[in-house]
Amino acid sequence: MSKERMVNIFKNLFSSPSQSQPRSLNWSGTDPKELLYISDLDGTLLSSSGTLSPDSIQRLNHLMDCGLKFTIATARNYDSAHPILKGLNLKIPTILFNGVYLTDFNTGQNVFIADFITKEIVKDMLEIVSPLDLHPFIYSYRANGNGHRVYYREATNPGAKTYLTSLDGDDRLRKVDRYEFADDERISGFLLIDNKKILKPIYQTLIKKYPDDISLYFAEDVSLKKFFWLQAYHQEANKANMVKLLAKYLKHPLKEVVVFGDYLNDLGMFKIAGRAIAVSNALPEVKRAAHEIIGSNDCGAVIDYLESLGFG
């Protein structure tokens, strides 16, 4: 499919009534082998250590060899997700960086890119947080340059330091004195980490000023309580929109899509999929939005569920 056709599909996502009628599937009479399965990574398919064991990779590969239509939708980008899933033979394009990219996982080539945050919004955000001695992690992309980058100045609190430690060895990471971007460099997202008292007014300011420009996710850090994450992406860059695009790309009805998740950024795809499944460690609001709750990520519940469907 040409890039131009992909762009047209994306622009017309919301004009198709058939794509906006979720949960109409008569589940009891559906052949599981005809469905498309999409799983979040962190907190869902991966263990709490952020890994997928060789045995799990082998089991998933076997299921896909037997006909399972499976892919992932994650907030990680290719450089972060690929090393973790090395050896996993994903044949269907993957949804990366919370829906910014639809990517061929075997080659790393982007099938489609949604949109980016304007540099004007980033500049405004930096002016808001500067007096607070709060330094964001800013994610950028250059199609004809250095690929992905993660810029930061300092990590000034335990939450930010923990996240920075998790990026140790990541080739994207760049410590800078000032946030400066090349003319052809696009901003795919940014992340602020601090306590709720500090971040909530910033969240309220940004969502009031840019309701039609950015998507914001504001929630407690699942691994370090009392610290919160405020994540921002372009308004059109989210998992739900990219699931819609992928479904059209594959000519697959949304009502025959099954999604797995645990976090706020999974709620959008929970609303549009034929079936939404939460792991038991998911946030309460994610569990409430699910059709079904299975075991925890650390118990390998997603793969156990897939193996129960009869794929040889």
> Position of tokens 């499944």?
277
What distance in Å separates the CA atoms of residue 35 and residue 20, rounded to the nearest whole number?
A: 18
> Position of tokens 């300092």?
154
Q: What's residue 15's pLDDT?
A: 41
What are the pLDDT digits (tens) for 100-147? 999 999 998 999 999 999 999 999 999 999 999 999 999 999 887 668
* 270-280 mean pLDDT: 97
What distance in Å separates the CA atoms of residue 247 and residue 242, rounded to the nearest whole number?
A: 8
DSSP β-bridge partners for residue 142: 147
> Which residue ranges form the domains of the chain, and what is each CATH number?
32-112+238-307 (3.40.50.1000), 119-234 (3.30.1240.10)
Is residue 209 over pLDDT 90? yes
Q: How far apart are the first and last CA of the chain?
A: 31
Residue 248 · residue 263 · CB < 8 Å: no
pTM over 0.85, yes/no: no
* 14-25 mean pLDDT: 40
Q: What's residue 27's pLDDT?
A: 55
What distance in Å separates the CA atoms of residue 117 and residue 129, rounded to the nearest whole number?
A: 17
Is residue 237 over pLDDT 50? yes
What distance in Å separates the CA atoms of residue 54 and residue 83, rounded to the nearest whole number?
A: 12
Dihedrals φ, ψ of 255, to 5°?
Answer: -65, -15
Residue 185 · residue 145 · CB < 8 Å: yes
